[in-house]
Structure 1
């Protein structure tokens, strides 16, 4: 199956792996997330192929899309996982992930989460502060275990991306500043039941310029030299994720092979297992959000609105990051017009697109919001009492409901 076959038109209807989105919407309702299992796996395999000449472990960043069926599909391919909470760890384990291939990040891990991670035997915890190192040591002593840790270093590299997804700048909350790393090394030496096995960084998301990775990797390589001079045996060198994907055709992502060409010569000399944490790269273009047009309206200044049944509660990225998502008609008519595509939520920020040239859809017809596989369903919520949408997985014509739509009863079931 070629890449264009994962989402393409057949007999005038937009399909996922040959399955009509029109039929899926009729059976499962809208809004509806539709995931292509084979697009997901194709992206993972492309990443592995690019870095095949480097000893590495790819840990899919679960936060991008944590449906257990997505995790299971990747686990069956041998993928590792990067989790950021006890809940994400639980999901990964429920999906059958190997604990020895799970790493845990998070700037604010609780004592309960650290205890859970250590007791399940994950590969390592990534510590992001001196206080957290002390907490990990205390809990490891209580459990009678040795805690394998990596130190997340903040390399103070500001990547050119949206400020809300920049994570390697010293102004941000993540990691331990590179200038404080010697203090961290001294603390690790003094703490019982801790073994420093890795160094980690993450500079942001949707980074198109390989130069930012090279600059940050240079800084982490210097920290690696310091760690070895200090007597630590570093086994893992984690450069994070953030590799870009194409959302807007006019702004194509830098091919992953270009990152490999620049990074492999730098990283192969470390004598470590290099860890990557792609999330968006694997998941983003593996899914679409299908939504139905509720109303069309025009105001007194001639502005057109298409009101759909999906909202910022299903896909918050346009409101939160001013991000672009392609939007196409499931059954195009051949003519277009310019409109705002907006949802039903009582917020002016509830939009999927502004002043977008789209197919001239009518009320009751369907639109597909593209590139909805990452940070779509995972960030959905029940604001305005809305029901989180269903999700289906398509695998070469076979359709599986992998998340049922919320019910009204579920909205109040935890309220005593």
Structure 2
């Protein structure tokens, strides 16, 4: 989604989104047909601005890539759980992957039919399991024998038979940040291959469970399709074993983790490359393949607009842009050392090398360090790109910060999809 344009007047490379959704128009960065500075004047800053058409475009690109495969796509709600984001994708026919009772509530509130929702999570409470069963979700995915027993207890109490999937740990360690790898037996997720015989025996003993799905998830931001090939091969071996034991496996869930471009110097592998590898492995297996893209759909659908409060230079000559957004709005740089491009909303001929930092009382509160950026004055706006996934959803009220407003743009229309928090709301649940 990124395009590098060289030889700008300031003789440095300026990066813009190569799409119809975010681009410079008359020298001002816009979302679809609306200028970001006009949105900031109307709704204030910090402000998340989401392109509705970007969400739809990414979802359709995913569906087109895997069109030859019997499959069902469940958007991973944890990436961005704003109700309007979920509604937009649900209107396209997308299901949802939820990881808690709260995410299930959001998906249902957004109008997603329960039979299009799969419920995951390594630590579901019995209350959450009951909520899922009573709602009629498509499948509950279990990650331990202890959880299987808990699901069986709850289902028996409710007089139901739970449709269950088992998350298998394929022991494939993909090359990604260690905090977002999930397919290795050293991590907390899933059931190791060595424990599957016990799992299959347990299903035969627990009368309120039916095993209909096998699941895996090897991590996030996986650029090399061969990791999916290796993990899928292991899951297919488990499928063969389960069928040999008489289990009717309907769903094979390959999870998510498909990459999005954050750094234009490291573009994401096209989704078609994954499809080319996976479709031949899966198209004759007699199952519906489930995918759970989240970041792939949402990451580049949003930017975080923030105002430059102060410019500061220390005695060593180091320059800072101090802005009104920080790690409380987008924690990824502090948490994962992740890369985000930062652009001036107004284009500038001159540039400076600076850190862009927030107001939070932590040294890790920064968006970029020692980065070339347009020479914008105090009071102007910056846009932190690729903020649509794991941005607002991971926000906090640390330092008494109020959660920002969120706006969705559709062509020339803007819709407020989350109000800015008030000071009163910060304390409304305290006694």
Aligned to 2:155: 140
**Alignment pair present for 1:6 and 2:25:** no
Structure 1: 5+ residue stretches without partners: none
Aligned partner of 2:55 in structure 1 is 40
Equivalent in the alignment of 2:418 = 403
Q: Aligned-pair distance for 1:114? A: 0.1
1:392 aligns with 2:407: yes
Which of 106, 111, 128 lines up with 1:91 in the alignment?
Answer: 106
Q: How far apart in 2 are the matches of 1:361 and 1:269?
A: 57
Query: What is the aligned partner in structure 2 of residue 28 from structure 1?
Result: 43
Q: 2:218 aligns with which of 203, 228, 236?
A: 203
In the alignment, the residues of structure 1 paired with residue 394 and residue 292 of structure 2 have an alpha-carbon distance, to the nearest angstrom, of: 19
Structure 2: distance between partners of 1:270 and 1:242: 22
1:150 to 165, 168, 174: 165
Show CA shifts across 1:219-238 (max 9, x none): 10110011001110100000
1:20-55, Cα deviation, whole Å (9 max, x unpaired): 100000010000000000000000000000000000
For the 8 Å contact 1:17–1:396, the answer to whether it is kept is yes
1:297 aligned onto 2:325: no
Question: Is the contact made by 1:339 and 1:358 (CA closer than 8 Å) also made in structure 2?
Answer: yes
Aligned match of 2:291 in 272, 276, 279? 276
Structure 1 residue 323 corresponds to structure 2 residue 307: no
SS at match of 2:393: helix
1:156-195 alignment, distance < 5 Å: 156-195=171-210
2:72: which partner in 1?
57
The 5 A counterparts of 1:228-377 are 228-377=243-392
CA distance, structure 2, for counterparts of residue 251 and residue 59 of structure 1:
27
Match of 2:136 among 98, 114, 121: 121
Give per-residue Cα distances to partners, 1:349-378, cap 9 Å, x unaligned. Answer: 000011111111110010000000000000
In structure 1, distance between residues paired with 2:56 and 2:50: 11
1:8 and 1:18 map into 2 onto residues whose CA distance is: 9
Pairwise CA distance, 1:267: 1.1
Distance 2:21 2:344 in 1: 17
Could you list the per-position Cα deviations for residues 215-266 of structure 1 after superposition, in whole angstroms to 9, with x for gaps in the alignment? 0001101100110011101000000000001111100000000000000001
Whether the 8 Å CA contact 1:151–1:200 is kept in 2: the answer is yes
Shift of 1:125: 0.3
d(CA) in 2 for partners of 1:91 and 1:3? 32
SS of equivalent residue, structure 1 residue 137: helix
The answer as to whether partners of 1:393 and 1:400 remain within 8 angstroms in 2 is yes
Q: Tell me if structure 2 keeps the 8 A contact 1:3–1:39.
A: no
Q: Equivalent residue for 1:379?
A: 394
Cα gap change, 1:172/1:87 in structure 2, threshold over 3 Å: closer, same or farther? Answer: same
Please give the secondary structure, in 1, of the residue aligned with 2:214. Answer: strand
Aligned-residue offset at 1:3: 6.2
Aligned length in residues: 415
What is the Cα deviation at residue 192 of structure 1?
1.5
Q: Deviations over 1:145-172 (max 9, x none)?
A: 1100000001111000000000001100
SS at 1:232's partner residue? coil
Inter-partner Cα distance in structure 2 for 1:396 and 1:23: 14
Map Cα deviations across residues 67-117 of structure 1 (whole Å, 9 max, x no partner): 000000111110010000000000000000011110011000000000000
SS in 2 for 1:269: coil
Measure the CA separation in 1 of the matches of 2:398 and 2:193: 40
- Secondary structure (helix, strand or coil) at the match of 1:264 reads helix
Q: CA RMSD in A?
A: 0.8
Residues 1:76 and 2:91 aligned together? yes
Deviation at 1:269, TM superposition (A): 2.4
